[in-house]
Structure 1
């Protein structure tokens, strides 16, 4: 375990704090500012919330009046992989349209990044091009032209971009040559400098040297050539801990988005380590084969969703000669591999300590069931010598130079065949590949000093960028399988394969933690299986018995013509606030002995509604229209036909010693804003939960039990957590427990408690002659034990009765358990749902209990698709801790009746 690094001291950034205050100040002239629509309309990617926030902050910086001089030098400190180049493209459009800037100088410190950015910003035929193919603002076509010198008289409707290295820019300034751009050229018209990887331009500052011909001084010459020139710098590693660098940038940071926040928001892959010891003779061979087979398994999983899914691996060596040897060995190993050798390797790995790695265990369980001759043929094809690349040719000066960068910069493209890359430590800035899934550290005695592991951590950070593979034809730039067990997590995980060298790992973990990049060992989870008991498969109930769920029908879009159709009440709830909550803890529980008074906030001012909507990304019009297809504009949402904001009168409960009359106007405004923030969050959650394209009907379909009750497996985390929520496999294979249909129950403590109590109940039922009584566990996302086997059919219930005053939720859910009770006269399906957690969660999911209970008095309304008789569908209240709602008592009454 790595030692926890010293916590970095949080340094004050006065200008950034001023911009944050502007963003939240209700009396600000910028209240309700939104990123102009022409920006997203003319970019190939839709900006994320934090990128729009960065533009918003930049807008504030350029429009602050009075008390400070408008800054001409700003820094955007944003995480690796967070889309800084997308932000640059957006700022180019903003500055062109809002500030009439036509000249943009993009500068970086390597030719490779320049080459990549030429594709991103100027080559409209490139798959990496960041603008729309045709840029149009206010009905005018805007051209982007790459230049080596800015024109003296710029053409209308044209953006000029000069892209070069800082070395070339400096050389042009400090030496007289033909066809170069001297300092006076930057003085003719306003120029905006876009400085990528800006930490390279502060060498003179950090060393406190008066370097007249340094990169830093070259940039300053250009910046000062025209009174309105502007320098925008972008970096993930600002190094503000250095005193001189901090002094330079403390009043220049315009926006900050940390790697830790980036990952927590779900915009990255999860990072997992596979560490192990290998036989000295075969250690690299074994590591290569493990990585290849894991990568290929990942491809098979991904292609179920996206036929063009292609994972890439990178093999790192300590030197160029070692890397060349590793490339040669890789080719030989794949070419010479036979079916017999592959079979032996898989069996050996399954039996070795490698089986402790969750991902490898999944892979080898898969391969054990496959035709290895077919697998080997595909391996030899995919990892043919033509499909790997070594980027360490000694005559080239860097990883991203001409020749290599085109192949490396388009790895996601379907027609790019590369599956494996061999390199040394050159993969740093400028490489934004998204489908890198495995980084494999080769060669023994690789450097493990702190400098090397910092470089390694930066490489892992770049590899952790999320790959927007498609599901049902739709891409996403945010993780979709968080918290789910099974193979799908491999599509959202980067694996770092390394030897178990303690000093190296300790230094690496410290470097990762200092970056704010959380990682986990791949041995933190185990795969468990639940198999259907043989005794149950022999019964007639298993072979012919049925479970029921209701059919759905399409909801016409014109149905959603008011918020009432989403379950949003016209009358707002009365929220409870305490003094502690006033300090922004709006989800805190109020002490039961707190003396409360009811007060009125009256009607909320339009400016507060607008500000609250601006602070919540759900209320962007481009998002709202997805849920409210009849909505005509964002402001229309606040109007009388929808939210009716002007007609809403708000009450709340506060502690008796809280006097709202004593608040200043700004304090009261902030309190109201926080209140409306909370209300709009609840409204958004209700709309999202209730907007469905399908709704339940009263027609129930049968599903054979044998198609629902199947063998399955699940990944269980061993991470520490609440004991009540930890999932574990509980053995129910003992004699006398035949009523539970699986040998293992994969459950948390609350679910285990329910099973045990119902077990006692079932034994009493059997004494009364209900012999065909079984408890069926319905697990979410069960993964078949045999790869390729059809998953168990879901049993999902939907609301089909709408009573006045009831919350309408069209989304369905699958109860966790069905108690199947058979007698000579009737067959019963009892739907049971255990529920733990906070009161807030119970309230949010109360509709599920209402749905279950609605079955009990709907016998005359329910129709069966198979026209059966003597079938009853019944539901009971949520089962809570210690059976707090007397669920079993209700169950007993229903059966006795």
Structure 2
């Protein structure tokens, strides 16, 4: 799994799954004490912002407790027992037994789950038969053919860093070069970091960006930290004035333009910088002797109460560092170690560190946004783009940058080649009266009390849920209706499945569905779970009479999906039926877009066929209408579903002005060409668009 794709969360899921399979004892081992401290916090500290289990863990109405243990000799067979160890510590314990320590006897006749994190460190001997250097041992990875051959038969799923980036779940990475002295290089990162913080705050996000200053040696790191603190303490407006006067980079110009536009003087800006980057808000994490307090601080940088802005390090954070609000990495040395035009071990390590820093920092601007995904890939002019980018600051060294880019492409964190393309409104359209004074009517997302909610949203209720028992023989059957004799048993089974989720306590359900009278109505009524259909695949004999355990597994899976959908679609919003006008030219304008070179940026096959279709019937339309304009919606505007406020961006809007009668009459038609494979899953869009004709209300002009 790519860094930042949820590896630790996967471990938590596996622990709960294996508990259900009868396992109670779990050994977590890794090569680094730092990773153990971080994982222990994620697994056991329910006050941590990164705690991954539910506050209450229960199976079949029985509460489960997580215990940290030193060995498995007298463990609790009702609860989850976890032992944390380093690989080195585990080896020492097993071969030099001590009291209350793990021994080989702990593993005899015991069901124990071994969780090996950062597992490439245990593959040193697999790489090849020769003696390995320290650098080679550290750079072993899955791409090595020996490692790949070893694990290929066991590989379940491969989610690479490239896939993570392409799916929008990482920051984008930019490499900035400067020939400035070290403190000036650092100061540029500070200015950028503070500007990013202001953009976050302007858009209602309380997120504190963090900078990592990376040195070659511990002494160099300590010395630069002192230099940095002195430089920030003595910073003057004259210094910032010099930077502004010499600013050639686009990002530096934006910072000073923002200050001027918002009437922030350089003197006031310096007061901010000195406060936010004062000595007590810098943190060194270099030596093995760093205190436990610092280890926790560096792993909770997203916490609102954690005020550290600048981290100074050498190698301590290369693995196991899960900070999401890291937006700048400053390289404080200028060496290269390439051989035969190939990136050396240091450059590869730096690329891997950049990969860790590229973890996405979640936020929502609109209530329907996915907080975990990039939102501004195609909108290069949006000021929020900087909040989805990681900047790597280095000395001006074209050969090194070329080597680093090669390593970043190899790891998949940046595309091979990208290109910017301008999306331009046609001049003949821009010059029309319609473009300059015509109107676009859009609805709004609005809050509501849910007092008028009498059903589960149709987008959730009509989703094609699927479950597989064994084969590909399909039989659609409604599991919530009493279609078999054991109707009472079915109700109890559904209740058991619901009870696995804290969400379905009746008091919580009432918040979402105020008109529910009792839990049984939620289960049986056609407007709630009673209207949900599940397609079950299995042998015909299995489908004739589902076993209770199969039934509850199917229901639990489906209810889990429903819960996730409910949580994602906020219950507080819906789409207004009133459509308000806005000048067309204020919404539809020129845009600059960013594409991977091999990306198809001209639309899907359905979209192309649709445009050809409009072209083919254009003469027929001209017989009825004065003006005909088909406009591509390249993330210019959204519509909001009446039922749940869920947003979507129709691909096209067709404007038509009728010749007769004399009174001006406009048609505004939203169009979304879709492939057949999306017919069921996105059926809600079809129903919403059809409903527009009857249910829309136009704001009076």
| TM-score, normalised relative to structure 2 | 0.68
In 1: Cα distance, 2:323 partner to 2:463 partner: 43
- Asked if structure 2 preserves the Cα contact closer than 8 Å seen for 1:815 and 1:831, the reply is no
Task: Give the alignment of 1:622-641 within 5 angstroms.
Answer: 641=531
In 2: Cα distance, 1:361 partner to 1:821 partner: 48
Which residue of structure 1 aligns with residue 87 of structure 2? 166
- Asked if structure 2 preserves the Cα contact closer than 8 Å seen for 1:173 and 1:181, the reply is yes
Task: Give the alignment of 1:286-685 within 5 angstroms.
Answer: 286-349=184-247, 352=248, 354-355=249-250, 359-360=251-252, 362-370=254-262, 371-372=264-265, 373-392=267-286, 396-397=287-288, 402-445=292-335, 447=337, 449-471=343-365, 476-485=371-380, 486-519=382-415, 525=420, 558=453, 604-606=474-476, 641=531, 643=533
In 1: Cα distance, 2:54 partner to 2:228 partner: 41
- Asked if structure 2 preserves the Cα contact closer than 8 Å seen for 1:639 and 1:645, the reply is no
- Asked if structure 2 preserves the Cα contact closer than 8 Å seen for 1:105 and 1:191, the reply is yes
Match of 2:50 among 124, 128, 133: 128
Change (3 A) 1:329 1:820: farther
Q: CA deviation at 1:274?
A: 2.7
- Asked if structure 2 preserves the Cα contact closer than 8 Å seen for 1:778 and 1:816, the reply is yes
Which residue of structure 1 aligns with residue 158 of structure 2? 256
Q: CA deviation at 1:419?
A: 1.2
Change (3 A) 1:287 1:831: farther
Change (3 A) 1:774 1:276: farther
Give per-residue Cα distances to partners, 1:325-377, cap 9 Å, x unaligned. 3323322332222234324423421xx2x12xxx5554444234231333332
Change (3 A) 1:409 1:636: farther
Task: Give the alignment of 1:733-744 within 5 angstroms.
Answer: none
- Specify the structure having the higher radius of gyration (Cα): 1
> Does residue 1:275 correspond to 2:176, yes or no?
yes
Give per-residue Cα distances to partners, 1:465-487, cap 9 Å, x unaligned. 22223446787333344434412
Classify the secondary structure of the residue corresponding to 1:404: helix
Give per-residue Cα distances to partners, 1:192-212, cap 9 Å, x unaligned. 2222222222334446599xx
Classify the secondary structure of the residue corresponding to 1:256: coil
Classify the secondary structure of the residue corresponding to 1:301: helix
- Asked if structure 1 preserves the Cα contact closer than 8 Å seen for 2:476 and 2:534, the reply is no
Which residue of structure 1 aligns with residue 552 of structure 2? none
In 2: Cα distance, 1:124 partner to 1:487 partner: 36
Change (3 A) 1:519 1:155: same
> Does residue 1:95 correspond to 2:37, yes or no?
no
Q: CA deviation at 1:109?
A: 1.3
- Asked if structure 1 preserves the Cα contact closer than 8 Å seen for 2:420 and 2:593, the reply is yes
Q: CA deviation at 1:410?
A: 0.5
Give per-residue Cα distances to partners, 1:63-109, cap 9 Å, x unaligned. xxxxxxxxxxxxxxx2222222222222222333322x332222111
- Asked if structure 2 preserves the Cα contact closer than 8 Å seen for 1:112 and 1:402, the reply is no
Give per-residue Cα distances to partners, 1:14-53, cap 9 Å, x unaligned. xxxxxxxxxxxxxxxxxxxxxxxxxxxxxxxxxxxxxxxx
- Asked if structure 2 preserves the Cα contact closer than 8 Å seen for 1:312 and 1:437, the reply is yes
Match of 1:284 among 182, 188, 193: 182
Q: CA deviation at 1:169?
A: 1.7
Q: CA deviation at 1:416?
A: 0.6
Which residue of structure 1 aligns with residue 65 of structure 2? 143
Classify the secondary structure of the residue corresponding to 2:65: strand
The structure showing larger relative contact order (alpha-carbon pairs under 8 Å, at least 6 residues apart) is: 2
Give per-residue Cα distances to partners, 1:591-648, cap 9 Å, x unaligned. xxxxxxxxxx9x95249999xxxxxxxxx999x999x9899569989999455979xx
- Asked if structure 2 preserves the Cα contact closer than 8 Å seen for 1:694 and 1:810, the reply is no
- Asked if structure 1 preserves the Cα contact closer than 8 Å seen for 2:302 and 2:324, the reply is yes
Q: CA deviation at 1:441?
A: 1.6
In 1: Cα distance, 2:97 partner to 2:383 partner: 61
Change (3 A) 1:292 1:528: farther
Change (3 A) 1:607 1:401: farther
In 1: Cα distance, 2:168 partner to 2:696 partner: 42
Task: Give the alignment of 1:742-821 within 5 angstroms.
Answer: none
Give per-residue Cα distances to partners, 1:458-512, cap 9 Å, x unaligned. 1111112222234467873333444344122222222222334233233323322
Which residue of structure 2 aligns with residue 24 of structure 1? none
- Asked if structure 2 preserves the Cα contact closer than 8 Å seen for 1:387 and 1:418, the reply is yes
Task: Give the alignment of 1:65-214 within 5 angstroms.
Answer: 78-99=1-22, 101-150=23-72, 152-178=73-99, 180-187=101-108, 189-206=110-127, 208=129
Give per-residue Cα distances to partners, 1:720-746, cap 9 Å, x unaligned. 4668579xxxxxxxxxxxxxxxxxxxx
Change (3 A) 1:505 1:634: farther
Classify the secondary structure of the residue corresponding to 2:27: strand
In 2: Cα distance, 1:637 partner to 1:419 partner: 51
Q: CA deviation at 1:257?
A: 2.8
- Asked if structure 2 preserves the Cα contact closer than 8 Å seen for 1:438 and 1:496, the reply is yes
- Asked if structure 2 preserves the Cα contact closer than 8 Å seen for 1:391 and 1:423, the reply is yes
Q: CA deviation at 1:145?
A: 1.9
Which residue of structure 1 aligns with residue 608 of structure 2? none
In 1: Cα distance, 2:254 partner to 2:204 partner: 20
Classify the secondary structure of the residue corresponding to 2:400: helix
Which residue of structure 2 aligns with residue 70 of structure 1? none
Change (3 A) 1:838 1:552: closer
Change (3 A) 1:452 1:832: same
Q: CA deviation at 1:253?
A: 3.8
Match of 1:716 among 577, 583, 593: 593
Change (3 A) 1:715 1:315: farther
Which residue of structure 1 aligns with residue 546 of structure 2? none
Q: CA deviation at 1:319?
A: 2.5
Classify the secondary structure of the residue corresponding to 2:292: coil
- Asked if structure 2 preserves the Cα contact closer than 8 Å seen for 1:797 and 1:814, the reply is no
Classify the secondary structure of the residue corresponding to 1:605: strand
Task: Give the alignment of 1:858-897 within 5 angstroms.
Answer: 865-866=699-700
Change (3 A) 1:826 1:286: farther
- Asked if structure 1 preserves the Cα contact closer than 8 Å seen for 2:66 and 2:82, the reply is yes
Q: CA deviation at 1:434?
A: 1.3
Change (3 A) 1:430 1:568: closer
- Asked if structure 2 preserves the Cα contact closer than 8 Å seen for 1:96 and 1:159, the reply is yes
Task: Point out the more displaced range, 102-111 or 327-336.
Answer: 327-336
> Does residue 1:241 correspond to 2:163, yes or no?
no
In 2: Cα distance, 1:366 partner to 1:143 partner: 51
Aligned-CA RMSD value:
5.7
- Asked if structure 1 preserves the Cα contact closer than 8 Å seen for 2:211 and 2:309, the reply is yes
Which residue of structure 1 aligns with residue 492 of structure 2? none
- Asked if structure 2 preserves the Cα contact closer than 8 Å seen for 1:637 and 1:643, the reply is no
